[in-house]
Structure formats: C-alpha cells, structure tokens
Structure 1
Amino acid sequence: MSKFTLAIVAGASAAVGAATTAAIYGLSGPRRQEETQTINTTGTTTPSTTRNAPAALPIRRDDPTVPAVPPVDPSGVFQYGFPGPVSDLRAASSLTSAFDRAKRNPHWVAEHITPASLLIRSGDRRHSYFAEDGTIPEKFRAKLTDYARSGYDRGHQVPAADAKWSQNAMDSTFALSNMCPQVGEGFNRDYWAHFEDFVRRLTSFYPSVRVVTGPLYLPKREADGKWRVSYEVIGHPPNVAVPTHFYKVIFAEDGKMGGQVSLGAFVLPNAVIANDKPLQDFEVPVEAVERASGLDFAGLLPPARRKRLCQEVSCSVLVKEYAERQRTMMTPPPQKGGMPPSTAFTQR
C-alpha cells in the first residue's frame, strides 16, 4: 500500500471522534402523602395523613412485565423540523448526485458512459451556461457569486464532454451542484482533464463504464506531529469549501449479467500536477476512499466479480494541450470491427 493510501486511511481514522456513552437513567419513587388508618382508643378507625409513610415497593427497571415510561421525548424536536443531515438527491438525464449542504459541494456524482453515448454529438457546450441549482434551498446552495474572483475554476465532477448525446444532458452538467472549486491551470484544465479523457477511452475496451466522482477533505500532519483538516472557503459570505483532494471510483463492466467488473479508485490532490506524473501513482484501494469519504461504493460487489482495473489496462494519461482538447474533446471510440484509436494505454 502506498504512503498516500496510508495517509488517507490514517487521516480518516483521525477524523473519527470518540464514541458517545449512554447513561442509564434511574428513577426512584417519589415520596407522597399516604393515607393510613390509625386505631383510636374507642377501637374505631379514623383516617389520618402522614408524610413519612414509605412509598410502594420499587418497580424493577428491568421487569419485562412493566412498560418503562421515559420522562422525556427527545424526538419531539421534529415538530419544528428535521435537523438532518440532508443529502439533496438529484437525478438528471446525465448524472445522479447527492449534495452536501454544509460544504456546498456534492458528496458524490455518478455517471454512466458507453461507446454509443460518446458517439452521439447532439450537445454543444457553447449553448450551456453555469447556473445555480434551484432544487436546493437557497440558504444551502452554491452561488455564481461565490466563485467570482475566487481564483478557482468551477470544476465539473461529471464532465460536459461525457454528456454530448443531448443538449439537455449537457446542460444538466452545468448546475453548480455538479461543481467544486478546483485549481485551474495545472489541474482542472490540465491533469484532471487528461484523467477524464482516460476514463472516456476506457469505452474502447469496455461496453459500459460507470464512474463516481467527488471531493475529499483530507488531513495532513503538521509540524507538531498532529493530523489536522484544513481547507479554504470561498464566497460572500464564505460558503463553498475548497476540497483538498478529489476521487474517482471507476466500474468498468464487461457487459454480461453478473459479469466481471474492473474496479479502479484514484485520489488526486487539488493542486498543480505535472503532466508526466504517472496516473497509477494516484491509484488507491477503493476501501481507502470509502473510509476517507464515509461513503460505500462497492459493498454489494462480491470479491469474485472484481478485477483490478490497472491490471487490465495501462493506467496512464494522454496529454493534450488545453486548446486542442477543447476543440476535439475526445477521439471517438472504434466502430465494431475497426481499429482502436490511438491511446496512451493498451489492454493487458
């Protein structure tokens, strides 16, 4: 396991707080006025009241025949509203996502690409515009003004180039609920874009590729030896968290019912990355991403169906200049029976 993977696992462990201990609430029976009888000198009984009469025998708290009546109702707060957390689920034509209201970024965004979806060219990003997501309550959503003069790009989690099969599909990728603040030069417009291109080119070998992408906020060890999470917040007032890292979990399917799935997980820092940096340096076990994010990606995928993606194909990026990439977006996958396109990876 790489040092980077260990940092993810250790950082995620450091972020877990101590477990809360439950206290046992015991009630002793209150002393009450008891009406007793006293015998007078005439032999008749007369009622009298004493404050010192003992209470009835105490009820055992563990007696299954006696229902416990708690003295409080914590759930009564729900009459004023459910505190949460709430993950706003968005199901659009090109993606499905869950939104993190506290950080104004998605928890995760899922997409599905196929050779057919990438061949259709009905969408044009020149007709798409960044927009706030009106389905998220106004006080929790990211706003266009939050990104203004922030120094960060509005970084797509599902790329627009993956949704060219219709204009509506492409438009849906431009909602800010599909965005995170990303370093522009050297990352969003460079290495991250090459990584997205690598994912598209997987359709040369797999008939179905599913991808989950999202932000991470990972700890780092400081000079005093302690691990701390620190990230910038942009906006007016500060609203949108700037992730320290981003992940992609890739499910490359063989197209057969119950077939094999080539699984790959990658974590990249939100920083300038040299184009000659090997993509495989960012490969981590999917369990490391799950632990760091608190999400479950492959819990229902049996080990017998899993393959390691980077053992099936060469995990490396094909570097293009940004201007050229904007023009071409991607090389179309091969037609059935045709020659595969020129790529930076080969099938093993």
Structure 2
Amino acid sequence: MNAPTEGLHIYCLHERERNHRLPLALRANAHLYLLDPRQRIIRAIALIPSSRFSEANNRLFDAEKVRDFACSYLEASSSTSVRWDLFGIRYAMQRLLVGIAAGAAATELVHRTLIDQNPDAELHPSTKPSLSRYGTPSTGPDTIHYENHALHYDQARRVPLWSLERLCRAHLDGPANRRTSRFRPDDHVPKQFQSANSDFWKSGWSRGHMVPAGNNKHSQSAMDETFFLTNVVPQNIDNNSGYWNLLEMKCRQLAKETYDDVEIISGPLWIPEATDENGKRFVRYEVIGKNDVAVPTHLYKIILGRKGDRLDLASFVVPNRPIDIKRPLTEFRVPLENLERIAGILFFPRLDRNSVGDLCATSEGSCDLSLKHAGWIASRSIQTARDVTSLEREWRRIDAQGFLDVVPGLEEAYMKKKREFEAAEH
C-alpha cells in the first residue's frame, strides 16, 4: 500500500554545499541523494559529475519517476539491490557504487523530470514547470514521514488533512510510555504555519491525535512523534475520550485478532451543515488560538485490513461532538468514494477496489465497538481523577456518553473514589 500522495523527493547538492552537509564518507563524488522530508541525507544512489547539475542547485525533482528508475535499474543490477518499505523512503543497500552507466542514465532522467517545487506536475500535464523563474507557490511537502506514520499537513488550517499508519500486533506491546511524551510543534514546518499548545489552552477543545499514541507501544520515539502538533486536530473532549477512543481500540483489536496488519487513514473534515431560509448551505467552523487553528466539523477513519492475500475495507465519518457509545459504528459508515468526494483526496490510489472485501462483513462483530473497551475507558477516567471536582466532571461525562447504561459497576467505583477524596480532606 502507499500513502495517498508521494512525499519523497530527490535533492541535488551543489559542489560548494556538499562538504557542509554530507558525512565524511560520502563527500567524494556523489551528488544525487535521497532525503526524507526533514531533509536529512539518507544515502547516495548515483555518482554524477557535479558539472551536470550546476543549474539544478536546491531544486526538487519528480520523485516517482526517479524512484521507479532507481528501483528498476538496481533490481536488474548484479552489484546493487534496493528494498523500499511502506512509505518508500527507507532502503537497505548491499553496495554504494552504482557505476558510470547508472549515473549517466539517472542524470538524463533527472534533467527530463526537473520540476520547480511542483511534485504534482505529472498528475497535471498542463502545468508549465518553468513558468516562473522563482518557483511556483508551495503549500509545503506533500507528505511528512515519521517513524511509523506519515501525514499531509494543511498549512492554512494548521491541522493534518490525513494521517496514515500501519498497525500490526508487534506495535501493540512494548516499553513505550506516553507519560514521557509531550505535545510540541514540528520545527520542520515553517513557524508561520505552526500551531502551538497555547492555541488549545482554555479553548474548550482537546488535542486529538489522528495517529494514536497507543498504536506505537513498540517504540518510544515513534510514540513521541505522534505528539507533534502536525498530527493533532481540535477535538471535542468527550468525543476524544469516548466514541473516537473506542474506534481506535477497535482498530487495535482488528490488528491483534483478525488481520496480519491494518492500514489506517484518519483526518478532519469540514462538511456543510447549516442551511438558511433560502436553502443555501454553509460550512461554519470555529478557529482557536492566535494561530487560528481550524476546528473540524467531522472526523473520518478508513480501515484497510490485510489477511494473507485478502483485503477488507470500511470507512467512517463521525461528527466532532459527543456521541452516545450505544450508537452502532455502522451508523457512521460511508462509502469510500463519498468520503473522497468530500475530502478531495484519493485514498489508496493503487488499490484494486474490485478485489477488496467488506470489513464489516468478515465476521460477527467486526464493526461493533467493544463493551470491554468501554468499561476500561470509563473505569480509567474515574481512577485517574485528581480531586472531587475532576471526579464529578468525569462522572457527568461518563453519564452523558452513555457508559452507565452498558458498563456495570461504575456507580460503585465512583462512590468508592469519592469516599477516598472525602476521607483525605479530613
């Protein structure tokens, strides 16, 4: 599977810059490098004379064509091999040297595919890459890659448009602890387009992960990266801790019990809901903080499960407000094509949809939210209350979300915790 849009770029370093940015072992003759979205050099893939790139300094190239060329050449070569992972930016090389023939071919290809800060030119043939001497407008990188997730960041709304992760059993256990993680801006996003923690303070909205921290227990660094604000939207706190949390737990259950792995895409939506007396529809949403972070009206989640050669999919859209946990998940199910039309995003563009099954029809309860998980959420909110005031607040939230109707023993747990606080006061 692949990210909704490609984010890998090929970057050419000018002769006078490379000594300042390359590891010593790579300073000799290599000038064409693969970089991840944070612009860290990964490794040279070709040895190209620097004179051939004198005019290409600090230019971005069509990643898809160069990657496909590199893969096809290296697979056919007896001297070098390459392996690409889910997001296409990590690879293992048996040898570094590619040879003069590869360098010449890559040079010709790069010159043919040179584009001016416009990685979508291939999708839009009418685009004229050389129209501006100074670069066409940029909305930032198509994809920002992290250790175990990738996303497209909306610089105008200061939220991710989509966040993609791949979840398997191995990710669900490990030493990672979210208590050591901190919400923070990603400094690789220009400061003028960042959101800040202060935007959320006293706003009435929580910081809602699109890729959950709990899906990365295998790695502390992967968990920490889910706390970048590039992965966060303003989310109703009851939705975040209630229904949406149950949906995230359902994804973990599917990865643990049903599928070999699960790919999940989550993100915000802004859907017309208001209609005036003339029948006109409007999209109205709040913005918070000095950075005007956009509050979505809805959230979506696409789940693609793989079991051997079998693929199953389901997609859901939920309102960004409190939802009674007794409401069935299937009530919020939408066809993927409808979601794509609303979001303006083509999800899993290389997926053969004729071969994909219905995730909700694979087994009984495959799209039912777990009462066991609901009980864990409600009990945890009671036990983690810091004082009587926060306990009463959590109790009202538990009642409003419908937990009392489906989880036994909550009232006893609440009264026990309340007595503990009262005893401590005396």
- Alignment TM-score > 0.5, same fold: yes
User: What is the aligned partner in structure 1 of residue 151 from structure 2?
Assistant: 97
1:275 Cα deviation from its structure 2 partner: 1.1
2:226 aligns with 173
- Listed as ranges, the gaps of 5+ residues in structure 1 are 1-73, 329-343
Q: Aligned partners of 1:326, 1:290: CA distance in 2, in Å?
A: 35
Match of 2:244 among 186, 189, 192: 192
| Residue in 2 that maps onto 1:267 | 317
| Aligned amino acid, residue 168 of structure 2 | T
1:129 deviates by 0.6
Q: Which amino acid aligns with 1:190?
A: G
The 3 A distance-change label for structure 1 pair 327 and 113 is farther
* Partners of 1:88 and 1:136 within 8 A in 2: no
Counterparts of 1:102-181 in structure 2, within 5 Å, are 102-118=156-172, 120-181=173-234
Moved over 2 A (4+): 74-82, 84-89, 320-328
Counterpart Cα distance in 2 of 1:97 and 1:150: 25
Identity of aligned residues (%): 36
* 2:335 alignment partner, one of 251, 267, 285: 285
In 1: Cα distance, 2:271 partner to 2:318 partner: 11
Between the aligned partners of 2:350 and 2:325, the Cα distance in structure 1 is: 35
Q: What's the secondary structure of 1:209's corresponding residue?
A: strand
Deviation at 1:268, TM superposition (A): 0.4
Change (3 A) 1:326 1:201: farther
Question: What is the match of residue 60 of structure 2?
Answer: none
Q: Deviations over 1:240-267 (max 9, x none)?
A: 000000101111011x3xx221011000
Q: Which amino acid aligns with 1:320?
A: G
Shift of 1:93: 1.0
Q: Secondary structure at the match of 1:139?
A: helix
Match for residue 232 of structure 1? Answer: 286
Following the alignment from structure 1 to structure 2, what is the Cα–Cα distance between the partners of residues 75 and 189? 46
Residues 71-128 of structure 1, C-alpha deviations (whole Å, 9 max, x = no match): xxx978744443233345221112111100010000110011111221x322001111
Pick aligned residue for 1:245 from 290, 293, 298: 298
Question: Which of 83, 86, 111 is equivalent to 2:137?
Answer: 83
* SS of residue matched to 1:252: strand
* Equivalent residue, structure 1, for 2:23: none
> Partners in 2 of 1:211 and 1:94 — Cα distance?
12
**In 2 relative to 1, CA 239–297 (structure 1 residues): closer, same or farther, beyond 3 Å?**
same
Conservation of the 8 A alpha-carbon contact between 1:266 and 1:284 = yes
Query: What is the TM-score normalised by the length of structure 2?
Result: 0.56
Q: Deviations over 1:41-80 (max 9, x none)?
A: xxxxxxxxxxxxxxxxxxxxxxxxxxxxxxxxx9787444
Name the SS for the 1:84 alignment partner: coil
* Structure with greater helix share of residues: 2
Give the distance between the partners of 1:262 and 1:326, measured in 2 at CA.
Answer: 33
Does the C-alpha gap of structure 1 residues 300 and 110 become closer, same or farther in structure 2, counting only changes over 3 Å? same
Q: For the aligned residues, what is the CA RMSD?
A: 2.2
Residue among 317, 320, 326 paired with 2:375: 320
Between the two proteins, the alignment pairs up a number of residues equal to 250
* Cα distance, 1:325–1:158 mapped onto 2, change above 3 Å: farther
AA at the equivalent of 1:291:
R
| Alpha-carbon shift at residue 294 of structure 1 (Å) | 0.7
Which residue does 1:303 correspond to in 2? 353
Change (3 A) 1:306 1:327: farther
Paired letter, 1:251 = L
Q: Write out per-residue CA displacement over residues 156-196 of structure 1, whole angstroms, 9 at most, x where no aligned residue.
A: 001110011011111011000010000002x0011110110
Distance (whole Å) between structure 1 residues aligned to residue 179 and residue 260 of structure 2 = 29
Check whether the contact 2:150–2:165 (CA below 8 A) recurs between aligned residues: yes
